[in-house]
Structure 1
């Protein structure tokens, strides 16, 4: 650090390079932050009485305690553009809003500032995806297994709009840069459904997939470009301005790509055959500069594609990947501004662990185990159940605040940077706390000794009656 400060002060290191080194170190220092917890206020049902008449012993889990964000399980997360509000969706169709700025230290339990309970106007089945407006925190969208896409006002949690797509909505996406307000929806239907929030109607569909869709993602630099993946193993690119819409598919056998007349794919004949994965494609995202597309499939592979040419970069992520659920798989790539060029980090939810990869080489940087039991037991109104804990959603906040994850055991967990300086500060805080406790114990001992001496003096005195 001293050398970095010296290089910065002498001008050998630019402010941008200095900042990237610092944020890159924070990124690589991410680890579980179990002291930050989310309590949705749901109570555990009393233990059942056994045949002998005694109560079942409580499950002792000092790390997690018996609190949940959503007791039935958390299916979806989203953090607003300012990094202040987090919205979570449960398997029981409830939605909760959390204020992340209420945290005042390394140990804190968040409580929801508002809840959308299961009512006539709310979702009937589990939430599948949540997203804030990318340009404003005033509203957020939710989709569900009940075939509906809904819009809620963040401040009041009042329902603003409701769209019935007549099919399970696995995920949806809003462009982060577009002037249009089109929501792309991946549903059981084999066409990408586009919903216009301005007119309140489903404008048109993009046909080409064979089977249900599980993932969609807009380009972060070109407002009319969209990528989608489905159970047919293909990743298709679309230009919503074209009558046909399709720009072609990504082919895992192609490591060269399509050059076109300008080196950016323009003017080239679109590829209409080829598969991106040998199984269902349920995860798609872009790097925030729009240069690369990342896809994940049930063949337990991650592939990185050159967005300009469609070439498979052949990045290899090894044999550790797990992916087999018929749901959208959340993939998060760190912002390009945080790391040196081609140094982005991919966060991959590998069932009960969070894997951190170097994006372009596929090198495994960290394997972060989810705290808590592998098969947690939850008692609810419907009885006792044991579930296999896994990560269902990821939401990036910042280099300092890290990343948030949703889990089927009902928890929302935080993964935050912890540097050597943080460890020293925590040790000093712990030592200070122990010192105060020791001082209080010593003071208590002195007081007890004085009382004991007074009692003994009184009992030693002889009392005579005249």
Structure 2
């Protein structure tokens, strides 16, 4: 098919060998040589076409780019034509670099009959996949891949900047992993760099390039060379996290929070380099590509652009899918486990049950290697072949020693002995317990019950300290602020009460829901409260004023669970409508909806790094998600009834789940090292 290049043509498609457009009469061969096949993209900076060079025997593919004039009138057109001619010469110079598309031809305004005043250039077509497509296909990049992105592209930027040129549109879509010539990374699309007038650039508020990757000075129309370095830094954190750049910036505090969303840790060295690339103030940012290269390799061993660099595409992406092994099952409760929480040190697990009791469990582990592991294989059920799952013994299959539950698990050559002992049972509630919470300072435990009361217990001794009786309905949720001074409770009486934990007095009663308050979460700053209700809504409260700041709507059934991301910029909700929703707190926008559960989502939890989300459902499963991408990583299926509670330890290595099957399962994270 031939495609007409006239932007005013109403039917641009034509037969393969046609010379003139059947609709508008325009010539179909640009310069009697280049035939457009199809439109690739269009936008404010012009149009891009896939084309072929018909003067060459093999008719290789090429790219035609059209750019609108920035001036109007005869005199201005002459100025624009001269400016375009100068830009074309400079673009031809850039095309000499092996990682920039080669410049083939340019056509000045009015030089092509039927096309009018349209500056046009022709460049080589780069066969390959953009980093944006690689991210979509393979998931978040590893540190090794990011280092290769930097070491391949920084020399290119050094070359570009040495020619007094600023790219102004560096993002994952404009970096192509070329499938020819060693699979080098190619920097493409210099359209915003070379065909924007100085008048437009000087005008404050002119947006050049992709806004999500642009620095503040660039958005104001005043880009400098370090603006490209900023955009490359944004590109890197997007590739590392698989999260849109807008969601990686805390606008309330003016800081980047990308490290909260890493799928795998990065070195301090790379973290410092990326953070310096992302500094808002130009004078405190890297000033040149070579400065970054020097910090990446102080010994100076990084190859220049003229030498081959190992391709990113040759590195298999490191798997981010976690392996969770059930290391023991606890069966001491007599009814459903409705709530679970870890102490700040991760050594104690608290469970609240419909049997009216709270149990505190001591969790311990010891380990060894080599012969010790070999000697205990049979106790653990035998060493599995590589790739086989580790056995998940239940309580009945474990050894019992003085009330202690012990199991063995293997990870590669590592032997681990895990122990759980029941420390104490707290009794006092007259009806089922629906919620428990531990104070971050590790001093107190709060429990909420269908007997309409909240009880405050001293964690060290198990002593009952206070009984709070202000609610007129069952207590569904209790949470404690990060400073351990404030307790918040949600009830079937449709109210939320804010308590002074030390004096056990009510500081405020919040009203705003039309049905039972089922879920609560407090931000790490202690300033924002989120509440979820059987009325299907989520209210966002300013705790200091007690006012509703926003109401999030989208669930079609009761909101059962809530959690904040570590940065407190994201709120995640689990609902009886079988979905998990991820919301941007700053504007209330719904970022993603996670589907996969076959029944109500009863509980959710997120790890301290913000890259692992746990959900428990009435469908008897636990699902592990990457919250940034929404990707389902793993499904755990050991429970035999609905999962009603999940909790993850502060270090992220241990997961606890509670179920209507009356058991608690404790899972250990195995990175497969």
Please classify the TM superposition score into its range, dividing by the shorter chain length: 0.5 to 0.7
Unmatched segments (≥5 aa) in structure 2: 1-130, 132-152, 154-169, 172-212, 216-224, 246-263, 265-317, 365-418, 632-673
Deviation by residue 1:212-252 (Cα, 9 ceiling, x = unmatched):
111111111x322111010111101111333x6110212xx
1-side partners of 2:561 and 2:532: how far apart?
9
CA RMSD of aligned residues (A): 3.5
2-side partners of 1:197 and 1:301: how far apart?
34
- Residues 1:208 and 2:470 aligned together: yes
- Residues 1:414 and 2:640 aligned together: no
Deviation by residue 1:298-322 (Cα, 9 ceiling, x = unmatched):
1221110111111111x23234341
Structure 2 CA distance for partners of 1:105 and 1:352, relative to 1, 3 Å? same
1-side partners of 2:323 and 2:594: how far apart?
22
Structure 2 CA distance for partners of 1:233 and 1:28, relative to 1, 3 Å? farther
- Cα displacement (A) at 1:399: 4.9
2-side partners of 1:130 and 1:171: how far apart?
8
Asked if structure 2 preserves the Cα contact closer than 8 Å seen for 1:151 and 1:160, the reply is yes
Residue from 311, 336, 358 that aligns with 1:149: 358
Structure 2 CA distance for partners of 1:399 and 1:223, relative to 1, 3 Å? closer
- Residues 1:175 and 2:426 aligned together: no
Partner in structure 1 of residue 489 of structure 2: 228
1-side partners of 2:236 and 2:491: how far apart?
36
Structure 2 CA distance for partners of 1:367 and 1:318, relative to 1, 3 Å? same
Deviation by residue 1:256-280 (Cα, 9 ceiling, x = unmatched):
xxxxxxxxxxxxxxxxxxx231111
Normalising by structure 1, report the TM-score. Answer: 0.55
Asked if structure 2 preserves the Cα contact closer than 8 Å seen for 1:115 and 1:157, the reply is no
1-side partners of 2:507 and 2:235: how far apart?
38
- Cα displacement (A) at 1:203: 1.0
Partner in structure 2 of residue 277 of structure 1: 513
2-side partners of 1:286 and 1:150: how far apart?
24
Residue from 354, 358, 362 that aligns with 2:588: 362
Structure 2 CA distance for partners of 1:284 and 1:19, relative to 1, 3 Å? farther
1-side partners of 2:486 and 2:462: how far apart?
21
2-side partners of 1:139 and 1:311: how far apart?
36
Residue aligned with 1:336, SS: coil
2-side partners of 1:27 and 1:321: how far apart?
26
2-side partners of 1:27 and 1:157: how far apart?
38
May I ask how many residue pairs the two structures share in their alignment?
287
Residue from 311, 314, 320 that aligns with 2:555: 320
- Residues 1:199 and 2:461 aligned together: yes
- Cα displacement (A) at 1:198: 2.1
Asked if structure 2 preserves the Cα contact closer than 8 Å seen for 1:291 and 1:308, the reply is yes
Residue from 532, 535, 554 that aligns with 1:299: 535
2-side partners of 1:418 and 1:294: how far apart?
20
Q: In the TM superposition, what are the counterparts of 1:310-389 in structure 2 within 5 Å?
A: 310-313=546-549, 315-323=550-558, 329-336=560-567, 344-350=569-575, 351-370=577-596, 374=598, 389=599
2-side partners of 1:203 and 1:162: how far apart?
15
Residue from 326, 330, 335 that aligns with 1:125: 335
Asked if structure 1 preserves the Cα contact closer than 8 Å seen for 2:538 and 2:553, the reply is no
Partner in structure 2 of residue 247 of structure 1: 507
Asked if structure 2 preserves the Cα contact closer than 8 Å seen for 1:354 and 1:370, the reply is no
Asked if structure 2 preserves the Cα contact closer than 8 Å seen for 1:149 and 1:165, the reply is no
Partner in structure 2 of residue 397 of structure 1: 607
Partner in structure 2 of residue 43 of structure 1: none
Q: Which protein has greater RCO, CA pairs closer than 8 Å, 6+ apart?
A: 1
1-side partners of 2:619 and 2:425: how far apart?
29
Residue aligned with 2:420, SS: coil
Structure 2 CA distance for partners of 1:286 and 1:107, relative to 1, 3 Å? closer
Normalising by structure 2, report the TM-score. Answer: 0.39
- Cα displacement (A) at 1:12: 8.8
